[in-house]
């Protein structure tokens, strides 16, 4: 969950030309207690492991908030959602790390989970072309299969 959020944030920062600012904040975070300093940028990171996700969860919101500061008033409205979505996911993540759960702790996770779903669309706005490509490819494959079936049926008669 947090790993997906990190990748969504990476693509959002890249789309809004905030990736350099984001990396400038992430990379110099010093080693502190059990936080390992990062030595590679988000572009070089292929996936998060469990330890990295746990460490990242501690200061993700601060880094995202700082990376998105400034800009035009129109950007301020857009930049609020990429802060709210991971905030809600981090809340779910913190509850999920409890040693055991009952109905109460599970219900505590519902509101932030619904909240994250209501704000996550901001991460996919720039990727609408990719979704269209996937649908187009699927329809093309389906059409080719149908044409092949029609050819086979015509050849048999």
pLDDT in tens, 133-151: 677 667 777 877 787 777 6
**What's residue 1's pLDDT?**
47
Domain match, 117 and 144 both: no
92 plus 36 within the same structural domain:
yes
Could you give the CA distance from residue 68 to residue 15 in angstroms, rounded to a whole number? 12
Same domain? 14 vs 55: yes
Q: Is the domain of 106 the same as that of 138?
A: no
Domain boundaries, position 154: 127-157
Mean pLDDT (the chain) is 76
Q: Are residues 10 and 68 in the same domain?
A: yes
**Residue pair 29/35 in contact by the 8 Å Cβ criterion:** yes
Residues 69 and 143 in one domain: no
How many residues does the structure list for the chain?
A: 157
Number of domains in the chain: 2
What pTM value is reported for the model?
A: 0.61
| pLDDT computed for residue 119 by the predictor | 79
Does residue 113 sit in the same domain as residue 139?
no
Q: What is the pLDDT of residues 103-113, one digit of tens each?
A: 998 899 998 88
pLDDT band for position 102 (50/70/90)? Answer: very high
Indicate if 101 and 144 belong to the same structural domain: no
Q: What is the pLDDT of residue 100?
A: 92
pLDDT in tens, 53-64: 676 777 778 888
Cα dist from 18 to 11, 24, 94, 117, 119, whole Å? 10, 10, 27, 23, 19
> How far apart, in whole angstroms, are the C-alpha atoms of residue 104 and residue 3?
26
Of 10-19, 65-74, 127-136, the poorest mean pLDDT is in: 127-136
Q: Give the model's pLDDT for residue 60.
A: 77
Cα-based distances in Å from 59 to 32, 63, 73, 128: 12, 6, 25, 29
Residues 103 and 154 in one domain: no
Sign of the alpha-carbon dihedral angle for 10, 13, 19, 24: negative
* Judgement on whether residues 116 and 134 belong to the same structural domain of the protein: no
Q: Which of 7-11, 52-56, 90-94 has the highest mean pLDDT?
A: 90-94
Q: Is the pLDDT of residue 6 over 60?
A: yes
Determine what percent of the chain is predicted with pLDDT higher than 90: 3
pLDDT at 93: 84
Q: How far apart are CA 143 and CA 134, in angstroms?
A: 14
Please tell me whether residues 135 and 116 are part of one structural domain.
no
CA distance from start to end of the chain: 54
Provide φ and ψ at 28, rounded to 5°. -85, 5
């Amino acid at each position: 969950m947090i790993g997906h959020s990190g990748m969504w944030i990476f693509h959002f920062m890249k789309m809004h030309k905030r990736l350099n600012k984001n990396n400038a904040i992430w990379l110099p975070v010093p080693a502190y207690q059990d936080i390992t300093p990062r030595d590679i940028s988000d572009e070089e990171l292929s996936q998060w492991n469990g330890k990295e996700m746990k460490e990242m969860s501690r200061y993700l919101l601060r880094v995202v908030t700082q990376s998105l500061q400034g800009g035009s008033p129109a950007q301020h409205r857009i930049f609020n959602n990429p802060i709210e979505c991971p905030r809600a996911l981090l809340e779910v993540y913190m509850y999920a790390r409890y040693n055991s759960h009952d109905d109460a702790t599970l219900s505590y996770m519902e509101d932030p989970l619904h909240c994250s779903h209501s704000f996550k669309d901001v991460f996919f706005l720039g990727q609408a072309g990719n979704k269209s490509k996937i649908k187009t490819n699927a329809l093309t494959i389906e059409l080719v299969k149908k044409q092949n079936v029609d050819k086979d049926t015509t050849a048999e008669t």
